[in-house]
Every structure is written in structure tokens, then in C-alpha cells.
Structure 1
Amino acid sequence: MEEHMDKKLIELYKSGHMVIPLYLLKNYKDLKLDLDEFIFLMYLYNKGDKELFDPGKISNDLNIPLKDVMKYISTLTDKKMLKVDVVKNDKNILEDIIDLDDFYRKISLKMVSNVNDNLDELNSSVFTFIEKEFGRTLSPMENEIIKSWLENGSSEELVREAVKEATFNGVNNLRYIDKILYEWEKKGIKNKEDVDKNRNLHRKKEKEEPVEEIFDYNWFEDDDSYEE
């Protein structure tokens, strides 16, 4: 951003004549905007809908060359953020109007998408996961127990693995899962990778355990000394 434009925008912001919504500030990169384009767009946004396009005034307000004003208008038009419409005013004179409908539409779609993502995240939470594994709704007491696991340092990933371990063994209660988490904590198991390593180590030990040798005696070939 040019230094003059930067200083001018700071002045506008301090004066209260320019407001930048926090949501837009956090998400402008998702709209494929660089910082210069975003701030220029925020200037137009603060001017209101269907503002008369006056390149000279914009150049003066932002303290940038006229060619930069036209550059930003061109790039933001290409990115479907705005349009410059030609309309007739009350005196039947043609005027250029800044139309930000495309920008508002993109922001609306982005907000809806974020809401859906949050819902998906909520639905995939460890509480919902356990309910699906158990095939029933959790009681308030069970919810509190799960919260205590998370508050005491067990990650959602680790809790999920403990639930899988329990259901694999045919046990669907939190007391059993609590014991699993307790044993894992003693072993320093903190994530899925640690769980997998522990399982593999357990399988390896089972394979390496010596099998008790059964003495095979052929009674039909007994020692001849027993014969008369």
C-alpha cells in the first residue's frame, strides 16, 4: 500500500468516517483480495450503496494518483466485487454509479458457508461421536464426565480412540472408557499415533510369547525293558 494512502486511511479511520467490519477484516483473503484492494473496497463500502463514481474525489480522499483509482476499479471489477453502472439521474443525465451488489453477494455466501462449517464441526464433536457409537443420547451426567476428560488434558482425538477401544471390546459405558484413559495416561499415551504404537507393541508381544511345548510321547513305541 502506498504510504500516502495508508496515512489517509488511518486519518479516516480515527475520525470515525470509515468503519471496517471485523468479519471482513478476518476473511478478506478468502475473497482473493490483497490488502490494497480490500482497503479500497472498504472505502467504497463506507460510502454506501450506489454511490456516484467520482474518480477525482476518490483520488483526493485517499491521496492516491488517479491512475491507481482506475486500476483498483478495474481489478475489483475483474474479481466480481463491483460494477460501474451507467444510469440516468433525475435530470435525465447519464451518470456512473458504483454497484457493490456482487460484493454483498459474495460476503453473504461466505457467511452462510462459515455457518455450515461451524455446524459440521459441532456435529462432529466428541459428544456427538460418542452418542453415535453408543446408539443413544448422552445423559447430563455423562456430558459432564466427558467435559472433565477434556478439561483434564485428554484431547478429543484421544477420547475418540478410547471410545473405539471400548466399543470394540463390546463395552458401552463411560466408566470403562475412563479406565482406558487412565491407563493410557500412565503410559504417556496422548494421541492416536501413540495409541497405534501401543497396540502394535501389544500385538508384537503376543506373537513373541513362548508357547508351552507339549511333550509328544509315543506309547506304542515304549521301551522294551517293560516286556517280559
Structure 2
Amino acid sequence: MQYNDYRALGVTLLSNGLLAYYPQLKIDDAEMMVILQLEMFAQKGDFFPTNEEIAANTNFSVAEIGSLLQKLIEQNFLVIDQVTDQKGMIGNKYNLNQLYDKLDKLLAGKTDSTLNKNGKDNSTSVIDNSPLNQLVRQFEIEFGRYLSPIEREEIAAWLNVDHYDPAIIKLALREAVLSQAYSLKYIDRILLNWQRHNLKTVSEVQKFLRRNR
């Protein structure tokens, strides 16, 4: 597909506030993906997509989508409204108003400690600049898709359990992309190989790569 073909698929508008603060609303990544899908369908005029339609756009099964929707309803982020169309037909629609009400309250209740001397919000930069979030965004850009919760946990384990340097992980990602291998398992093998060679710094990895090109 060409760039214009992708443009023809349309664009989904989403609040940057939601993207930055959904963890503080206790929304996990899987639930956020469902919210993104609901927004996409709604902005195309489909206010009650089926679980099958949502699942087709994600890495989740139909059953998992059903469970995630139920969790959003139980947490009062999502409501199913009954509506009547112009022909008098009764139907349903998903309503995310309560989610945005909660987001409004969160933002309104932010303290001055999150503001810098120019009155600008610093809290988003704190969230955005965490090593895990930086890596996740980089992987999603290179893979051309959202990562699943399990994939995000694996990257977190590289940082917190294996204690890999984020810069080393980015180098492994680059090597995988150069090989057109868009897989965390492939990247894990690269990292293990470098670990076996006792490569601990970016400079050591780069020298190793130059020797083995």
C-alpha cells in the first residue's frame, strides 16, 4: 500500500490527555486498546460494533474483548445506552462519557506541583519519559502496531529482571528490524547472545557488530 492508501483508511482523533493519563485512571493497556477501537468505530459512525469486529482489529480473541468490555462497564468507564433511530427501531450504542468525566475530574484536581514556573504541565513528560514507555513506543513504531500486554511485560522484564540497558535493547531492536524480524523472541535471542559475549555497553556492542558484519 502507498501512503495515500493509508490516508484513505481515515484518522482517529483521541485526546492527548487520555493517552497521557489513562494509567492514573487505573486503565490497563488492554482496556485502553478497546477504548481506542470504540473511538475508531464511533468516529466512523458505528456506535455499537460487535465483539468480532473489535477483535479483528486487535491481538485479542472475541472472548477476551467481551471480558474487557465488561471490565470497562464495571469500572464505570463505559455505558451501553438504548437508542431509537428515525424509523423507530430500538438499538444499542456504547457511551464513553463517563470515562471523559473521570478524566476531566483528574485533570481538574491536579495540584500546582505538576506545573512548572511557566504554568506548563510537567507530569506528562514524567510519564512519557519513563524507560519502559520510551521503549514500548519505539517498538510500536518499528513494528507498525500496538504491543500486547504480554509483550509490554516482556520488555519490562528486560529492564527490571535482566537489567539490560535501554540503549542496548534499542540496538537489538534495530538489528531485528534490519533483518525484518519483527518478533520479541528474535530480539531476546540477540540480547542473550550479546550477554554471552559479555557485552555490557553500547560501544562494546557496536564494536562486536562491526567485527561480525
Could you say which TM-score interval applies, normalised by the shorter chain? 0.3 to 0.5
Larger helix proportion of the pair: 1
- TM-score, with structure 2 as normaliser: 0.43
- TM-score, with structure 1 as normaliser: 0.41
Could you say which structure has the larger radius of gyration? Answer: 1
